[in-house]
Amino acid sequence: MIRRLPLAVMLLLGLRLAAAERFFDFTDSRPGEVPAGWTNLLAGSGRPGKWVVRMEDVPPALAPISANAPRFTKRAVVEQTVASAEDERFPLLLWGGEKLGDFTCTVRLRIVGGALEQIAGLVFRAQDERNLYVVRASALGGNLRFYKFVDGQRSPPIGPAIPFEKGRWFDLTVKASGNQFEVLVDGTNAIPTITDNTFVSGRIGFITKSDTLAQFTDVRLDYRPLETLAAVLVRQTLADQPRLLGVRLFGTSSSRSELHCLAAKEAEEVGRTANETQLKVYADNQTYFGKTPQAAIVTAPLHDRNGEVIGVMEFRLKPFAGQIESTTVARVLPTLKKLESSIGGARDLTE
Written out in words, the top-level CATH class of the domain with range 19-223 is mainly beta
- Domain 229-349: CATH superfamily, name plus number: GAF domain (3.30.450.40)
pLDDT band per the 50, 70, 90 thresholds, residue 69: low
Confidence of residue 328 (pLDDT cuts 50, 70, 90): confident
Q: What is the pLDDT of residues 180-203, one digit of tens each?
A: 999 999 999 999 999 999 998 899
pLDDT-derived band at 8, boundaries 50, 70, 90? very low
Give the Cβ contact number of residue 137 at 10 Å. 26
Q: Which of 40, 64, 61, 65 lies closest to 51 in space, CA to CA?
A: 40
Res 63: pLDDT: 56
Report d(CA 155, CA 133) in Å as an integer. 10
Distance CA 189, CA 185 (A): 7
Alpha carbon distance 174, 170 (integer Å): 13
pLDDT number for residue 267: 80
Residue 15's pLDDT band (cuts 50, 70, 90): very low
User: pLDDT confidence of 326, banded at 50, 70, 90?
Assistant: confident
Q: What average pLDDT does the structure give for the chain?
A: 88
Split at pLDDT 50, 70, 90, the class of 10 is very low
User: Phi and psi of 8, rounded to 5°?
Assistant: -60, -40
Q: How confident is the model at residue 70 (pLDDT cuts 50, 70, 90)?
A: low
Contact 216, 108 (CB under 8 A): yes
- How high is the pLDDT of residue 300? 95
Task: Label residue 321 by pLDDT band (50, 70, 90).
Answer: confident
pLDDT of residue 323: 78
Domain limits, the chain = 19-223, 229-349
pLDDT band at 64 (very low <50, low <70, confident <90, very high): low
Which percentage of the chain shows pLDDT scores above 70? Answer: 91
Render 276-304 in DSSP notation, one character per residue.
HHHHHHHHHT--EEEE-SS-EEEEEEEE-
In the beta sheet, which residues pair with residue 76?
Answer: 55
Which of the four pLDDT bands, split at 50, 70 and 90, describes residue 4? very low
Average pLDDT over residues 40-58: 95
**pLDDT at res. 14:** 35
pLDDT value at 150 more than 90 = yes
The whole-angstrom separation of Cα 215 and Cα 206 is 10
The pTM of this model reads: 0.64
- For residue 158, the 8-state DSSP code is B
**Over 50: is that where the pLDDT of 13 sits?**
no
Amino acid 71: pLDDT: 65
